[in-house]
Amino acid sequence: MISIRIGAQERKWPGDGDEKWVHEQINGLRRDGQGVCVQITIQHAPINMILAAGSCPPACGGGRPFNREELQIFDIWQKLRLQDNSGFGPGQVVAFLKQVGHKS
């Protein structure tokens, strides 16, 4: 299962969280002068991870190293520069979700 939370709204991906929704949420928060926090949760054995981008509150780490599958997902996250806390766009988030959706 993959879910995406943008601000206070959460949706499943794919499903009720589509590309248009991602763009509307991120662009709407920015237009309103609010910080954007995107959290993506992936839970599909053996993957169990939460990735965050933007102005999310600090969280404590998972306490264990990534497994091989999680490392592949984190590599995609880094290649799309989502680990940078500023300047990411909704297109990068959608690209990540599409790529990860094929792996889980």
Mean pLDDT along residues 70-95:
90
pTM of the entire predicted model: 0.88
pLDDT in tens, 64-79: 889 999 999 999 999 9
b/e code 54-66 from CB counts within 10 Å (16+ = b): bebeeeeeeeeee
Residue 104 has pLDDT above 60, yes or no: no
The helix (H) or strand (E) run that includes residue 10 is strand 9-13
Number of domains in the chain: 1
Which structural domain range is residue 97 located in? 2-103
